[in-house]
């Protein structure tokens, strides 16, 4: 028996925001003081560190549940299943539905219930619930789907990661350039094939690390102190990720019984190009083996960081041969890995 991803789908918004569009923004330090650099220099340094040249934003009339449903419909069609046969719909997000020109989170009803409604699934035995797990939410949803199937509680699960971070950013904060919108979805099924999920690893660090990502006030001190935006301690996240993510990936791969040399691709959360490159280098260093060429697909350059959507979207692009110089063949061993708010880390070893 295998527990396998049988269908994938993604929604990549049409609105492209290039880096030069930030040249006229007013960026401020956290204390509200002026940054002693021109915007051109700020943007140039940002691009050099993150690798992001552009990002995608949803159209004004769309929300996270809308685009999650778009991705889900594609995944259902790709898996060629009747949606009424789904046992679970698990939706990972961080902020619920945030409408255009507001920053109020709306999660009543939950996004999973909304997406089930949009898809017109009538079966009451199809259980729909949300998961709040930071950027690793989609991977954790897949791990939970696997557990339901192993326990005999399900045969088919739909796992979605969807987010519209463009609506919760502080435009006075340089970090706002990192975040983007998008959705990715997967159908997880029990199959008779000898492939699918081989092992997984999850860890939560909630001591000093708990508030490395948080909701905080705008850098513009003149704005309402009651309004909050996504904030992060970038340097601490970077150091934490470089220390902890490679360890979790190694534990996961070791538990799978697969040799490091047999890993074909690593789908890592698209948070920061330099950070991701450093994580992969440290991962291979743990095995005292050189990093293979072209092992890590990257979409952050064009899509930015859409949190829970980055990994399933990236996987969907590669699976359908839409990312240049990257492809998958039957039997390939791949790794999914992520890190994010909590701080949480997780990884899955998977045979394609």
Instruction: Report d(CA 73, CA 156) in Å as an integer.
Output: 15
Strands (E), 149-212: 156-164, 181-191, 196-204
Quick one: what percent of the chain has pLDDT higher than 70? 100
What's the gap between Cα 28 and its chain centre?
28
Helices (H) and strands (E) in the chain, counts: 8, 13
CA proximity to 9, closest of 74, 97, 77: 74
CA proximity to 185, closest of 14, 315, 55, 351: 315
Instruction: Report d(CA 335, CA 213) in Å as an integer.
Output: 25
- Give pLDDT, residue 104: 83
| Per-residue model confidence as pLDDT tens digits over 106-157 | 999 999 999 999 999 999 999 999 999 999 999 999 999 999 999 999 999 9
162, 97 contact by CB (below 8 A): no
Q: Environment class of residue 256 by beta-carbon count within 10 Å: exposed (0-12), middle (13-18) or buried (19+)?
A: buried
| Per-residue model confidence as pLDDT tens digits over 236-272 | 999 999 999 999 999 999 999 999 999 999 999 999 9
Q: Please name every residue paired with 182 in a beta bridge, in sequence order, or none if there are none.
A: 163
Tally the C-alpha atoms within 13 A of residue 51's C-alpha that lie toward its C-beta.
16
CA proximity to 1, closest of 171, 203, 149: 149
Mean pLDDT for the stretch of residues 218-230? 86
Is 224's pLDDT higher than 90? Answer: no
| Per-residue model confidence as pLDDT tens digits over 302-348 | 999 999 999 999 999 999 999 999 999 999 999 999 999 999 999 99
Give the phi and the psi of residue 338 in degrees, each rounded to 5: -155, 165
CA proximity to 305, closest of 105, 31, 110, 17: 17
| Per-residue model confidence as pLDDT tens digits over 73-105 | 999 999 999 999 999 999 999 999 999 988 788
Mark 169-183 as b/e (b = at least 16 C-beta within 10 Å).
bbbbbbbbbbbbbbb
Is 223's pLDDT higher than 90? Answer: no
Specify the residue for token string 């259902």. 76
What is residue 326's DSSP assignment? -
């Amino acid at each position: 028996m295998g527990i396998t991803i049988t269908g994938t789908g993604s929604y990549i918004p049409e609105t492209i925001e290039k880096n030069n569009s930030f040249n006229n923004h007013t960026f401020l330090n956290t204390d509200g003081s002026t940054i002693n650099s021109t915007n051109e220099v700020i943007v140039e340094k940002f691009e050099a560190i993150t690798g992001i040249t552009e990002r995608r934003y949803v159209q004004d009339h769309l929300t996270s549940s809308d685009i999650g449903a778009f991705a889900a419909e594609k995944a259902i069609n790709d898996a060629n299943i009747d949606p009424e046969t789904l046992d679970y719909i698990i939706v990972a997000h961080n902020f619920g539905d945030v409408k255009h020109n507001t920053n109020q989170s709306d999660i009543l009803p939950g996004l999973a219930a909304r997406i089930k409604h949009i898809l017109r699934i009538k079966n009451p035995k199809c259980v729909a619930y949300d998961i709040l797990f930071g950027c690793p939410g989609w991977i954790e949803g897949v791990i939970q789907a696997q557990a339901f199937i192993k326990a005999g509680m399900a045969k088919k699960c739909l796992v979605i990661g969807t987010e519209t971070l463009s609506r919760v950013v502080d435009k006075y904060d340089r970090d706002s350039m990192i975040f983007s919108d998008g959705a990715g979805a997967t159908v997880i099924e029990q199959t008779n094939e000898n492939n699918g999920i081989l092992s997984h690893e999850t860890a939560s660090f909630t001591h000093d690390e708990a508030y490395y990502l948080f909701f905080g006030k705008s850098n513009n001190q003149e704005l309402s102190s009651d309004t909050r935006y996504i904030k992060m301690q970038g340097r601490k996240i970077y150091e934490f990720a470089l220390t902890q993510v490679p360890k979790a990936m190694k534990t996961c791969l070791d538990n799978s019984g697969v040799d490091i040399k047999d890993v074909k691709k690593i789908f890592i959360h698209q948070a920061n190009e330099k950070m991701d490159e450093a994580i992969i280098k440290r991962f291979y260093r743990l095995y005292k083996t050189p990093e293979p060429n072209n092992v890590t697909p990257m979409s952050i350059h064009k899509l930015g960081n859409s949190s829970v959507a980055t990994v399933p979207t990236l996987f969907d692009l590669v699976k359908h041969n839409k990312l240049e110089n990257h492809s998958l063949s039957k039997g390939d061993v791949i790794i999914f890995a992520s890190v994010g708010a909590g701080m949480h880390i997780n990884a899955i070893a998977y045979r394609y």
